Amino acid sequence: MNGVINWLTDPAHWSGDDGVVRRLVEHLEYSLVAVLIAAVVAIPLGLFVGHTGRGRFAVVNAAGAARAVPSLGLLFIAVMFVGPRLSGDAAFVLPCEIVLVVLAIPPILAGTYSGVEEVDSAARDAAKGMGMRGTEVLAKVELPCALPLIFSGLRSATLQVVATATIAATVGLGGLGRFLIDGLSVRDYDQMAAGAVLVAALALAVDVVFALVQRYAVSPGLTGRRVRRAAEPGVTPELAVHVTA
């Protein structure tokens, strides 16, 4: 325990090429780029599936299958096949981003289409009653109402990506995983444990930031998930799935 604290309080470990600050920034870069790309892909797709109900079966199952693919294996395969076609750092960063994007898409997708589906049909009908058509309903009513679940999906995705970005270090990239891998190879437990603590702290910080953003970005009329005793057994498995994922 002491060793970890000593390692963390040593200023030499924080600055420089190999320092905590640089690794932290790298880690965040890898993670945020992946979540952004995943959101750009998954949110429109989820909105489409939720709004029109088309392709739901295919999308839900594909997302479920994608969750089952082990990230480490996918990373190695991507480096072996995509890597040789690129040069410099990109040969390793791109495969890593591919893996993180594949990881981030299912939760965002699930959050989005569930969010849209769960919108109270009364609100939808009211919108139609006011004369709104298809995309207007989507943009002005369904999307804002779906925001809590979309946010929940984004939050879940970001957390998973930040956690998994540690494996980027196994293919020579940076990020906080570097301390875990380097410490592991020379059995420097202090470095390993310090790296582990840092990653956990980062994940926590990201989660807290998301919680705050969620609280203030979502319309106060929607007070987020509150499970009441329903009139009849009504919490569907899908709702539970994206809630817990």
Partner 1 sequence: MNLRKTPLALIVGAALLSLAACGGGGDPLDTTGSVDSGGSKDSGTIVVGSADFPESALLAEIYAGALEAKGVKVEKKLNIGSREAYIPALKDGSIDLIPEYTGVLAQYFNEKASATESDAVYAELKAALPDTLTVLDKSAAEDKDAVVVTQATADKYHLTSIGDLKPVAGDLTLGGPPEWKTRPTGVPGLEKVYGLKFKSFRALDAGGPLTVKALENGQIDAGNIFTTDPNIETKHFVVLQDPENLYAAQNVVPLITKSKVNDTITQALNAVSAALDTDTLTALLKRVVIDKEDEADVAADFLKEHDLG
Partner 2 sequence: MTWFTQHISEVLDLTLKHAYLAGVPLILGLIISIPLGWLARRYKVLYVPLIAGTGLLYTIPSLALFILMPLFIGTRILDSVNVIVAMTIYTVALLVRTVADGLGAVPDAVAQSATAMGFNRPRRLFMVELPLAAPVISAGLRVAAVSNVSIVSVAAIIGVPQLGSLFTDGFRRDYADPIVVGVVACVLLALVFDGVILAVTRLVTPWQRVRRAA
Binding site for partner 1 (CB under 8 A): 17-18, 79, 83-84, 86-89, 91-92, 169, 171-172, 178, 181-182, 184-187
Q: Output 127 or 169, the one with its CB closest to partner 1.
A: 169
Binding status of residue 209 toward partner 2 by CB under 8 A: no
Q: How many residues bind partner 2 (CB under 8 A)?
A: 56
State the first-to-last Cα distance of the chain, in angstroms, to the nearest integer: 32
- Cβ neighbours around 32 below 10 Å, total: 15
**Shortest distance (Å) from residue 190 CB to partner 2:** 11
For the chain, the helix, strand and coil percentages under 3-state DSSP, each to the nearest 5 = 80, 0, 20
Looking at residue 118, the DSSP 8-state letter turns out to be T
Minimum distance, C-beta of residue 104 to partner 2, in the bound complex (Å): 14
Q: Tell the smallest beta-carbon distance from residue 136 to partner 2 (Å).
A: 33
Site for partner 2 in 172-201 (CB under 8 A): 177, 180-181, 184, 189, 192-193, 195-197, 199-200
Contact 26, 173 (CB under 8 A): yes
Q: What is the DSSP string of 87-102?
A: -TTHHHHHHHHHHHHH
Q: Cβ closer to partner 2: 28 or 245?
A: 245
Q: Residue 113 has which token pair?
A: 């289409």
Question: Which residues, 6 or more positions from 54, have their beta carbon under 8 angstroms from its beta carbon?
Answer: 48
Task: Give the count of beta carbons closer than 10 Å to the beta carbon of residue 145.
Answer: 21
Residues that bind partner 2 (CB under 8 A): 1, 4, 64-65, 67-74, 76-77, 79-81, 159, 162-164, 166-167, 170, 177, 180-181, 184, 189, 192-193, 195-197, 199-200, 203-204, 206-207, 227-235, 237-238, 240-241, 243-245
